[in-house]
A = this chain, B = another copy of it.
Amino acid sequence: MAKRTPSAQELHRRAVATYVKAGGEESVQRVITAVQGLTKKLDQWYARQLVDLEVTAGEWAVVTSLAKAGEALTPSQLAELTNVAPSSMTHRLDKLAERGLVERTPDAENRTRIYVSLTDAGWQLFSVAIRGSDVVESDVLQDLSDAERGELARLLEVVIARLDDIDA
């Protein structure tokens, strides 16, 4: 039997200690490490759920990107949004189109460009998956009061607003 995998809390504690030791600022590392740990867990849960829907994580990323954008996107934009090489997107879209979840329509005004959009079936898949994941997400925040959730969201949104200034 393997040594038990440590708890997320323990992993977090050790990670912060390691980063601080390596020269990172503690207040920074506590936040960054926690954010990444939370995302990793969420990704694991989503992955399980997506197996049932027979969608890969990559395909799901495309569906959510389209849903969240609220408008048609180009393959390049989807590649950027889902952190994948543009050439990989071609194949993903082929598979998704084959299953009738997305639709490619050429741009009449610029014939180098193609717009990708969700079909009705794509939207339906999105809805089903969201209703499933909201449950787990609510559980995650269970220990926070309404006020705390609001404060957490506010602080994170301050950080989000900063992102675009940085990578410019």
Which A residues have a C-beta under 8 Å from some C-beta of B?
2, 5-9, 11-12, 14-15, 17-19, 22-25, 27-32, 34-45, 47, 67-70, 74, 76-77, 80-81, 83, 113, 126-127, 130-131, 134, 136-144, 146, 148-153, 155-164, 166-167
Q: Are A155 and B163 in contact (CB under 8 A)?
A: no
Knowing A18-B68, A80-B5, A153-B30 are in contact, say whether A159-B141 is a contact too (CB < 8 A): yes
Chain B residue, CB-CB nearest to A44: B83
Distance from A90 Cβ to chain B, minimum over Cβ atoms (Å): 17
Number of this chain's copies in the assembly equals: 2
Given contact pairs A5-B77, A130-B23, A157-B12, A31 touches B163 in the complex (Cβ within 8 A)? no
A19-B130 in contact given A5-B77, A12-B157, A157-B30 (Cβ < 8 Å): yes
Q: Are A127 and B23 in contact (CB under 8 A)?
A: yes
User: Is the beta-carbon distance between B35 and A138 smaller than 8 angstroms?
Assistant: no
Report whether B38 and A159 are in contact in the complex, using a CB–CB cutoff of 8 Å. Answer: yes
How many angstroms between the C-alpha atoms of A4 and B94 in the bound complex?
25
| Partner pick for A24 among B17, B137, B146, CB 8 A cutoff | B137
Question: Which residue from chain B places its CB closest to the CB of A161 in the assembled complex?
Answer: B9
Known: A28-B134, A126-B22. A143 touches B167 (CB 8 A): no
In the assembled complex, which residues on chain B have CB atoms less than 8 Å from the CB atom of A162? Answer: 139-140, 142-143
Contacts of A163 in B (CB 8 A): 7-9, 37-38, 41, 140
